[in-house]
Amino acid sequence: MRIQVQEDIFDPGAVLTDFSAGRTDMGAVVTFTGVVRDTGDRQLQAMEIEHYPGMTEAALTSIAERAVERWSLGDVLVIHRHGHLVPGEVIMMVATAARHRRDAFEAADFLMDYLKSRAPFWKREVTSDGDASWVEAKDDDEAALERW
């Protein structure tokens, strides 16, 4: 299991190659990569992500451990950035490796749902007119947890 919280940008391709390397028993690897999206109508200049050092790592580890208990997984990876990000940059990535695809897909989906609303990150959008606003949590995100 690899949990990483970092400010630095990373290359999801290189992370995937490293994650998959050296294993011959995993038939399925699923990855999800979150990217800063410019919403178009109001010109996003940057996304600033605040987090709770200490709790962040603990929460991500606990979410990943739940996934490992529930699905048959060979490995799990979560990388989440904080700090100043610009549109097009990768925000975070999850990867799951399993013998079969269903476990890998479902565990990745579970990880994403949980880290949206249970990992202590807060996003703030800065637009080109200098306006900055905190991104509000969506009711849908909370409701998504009930699927699990």
Partner 1 sequence: MEVLYFAWVRERIGLPRETVETSAETVEELVEELRAREERYAAAFADISALRVALDQELTDFDAPLAGVREVAFFPPMTGG
Query: By the criterion CB under 8 A, which residues form the site for partner 1?
Result: 34, 50, 52, 54-55, 58-59, 80, 91-92, 112, 115-124, 134-137, 142
Measure the CA–CA gap between 114 and 141, rounded to whole angstroms: 9
User: Which residue's CB is nearer to partner 1, number 29 or number 111?
Assistant: 111
Closest separation between CB of residue 55 and partner 1, Å? 4
Work out the number of other CB atoms within 10 angstroms of the CB of residue 54: 10
Using the minimum distance from each CB to partner 1, give the nearer residue, 122 or 148: 122
Least distance in angstroms from the C-beta of 13 to partner 1 = 20
Closest by Cα among 36, 23, 9, 48 to 98: 23
Residue 23 or 124: which CB sits closer to partner 1? 124
Q: Which residues pair with 93 in a beta bridge?
A: 33, 79
From the CB of 56, what's the least distance to partner 1, in Å?
9
102 phi/psi in degrees, rounded to 5 = -60, -45
- Grouping H, G, I as helix, E, B as strand and the rest as coil, residue 49 is strand
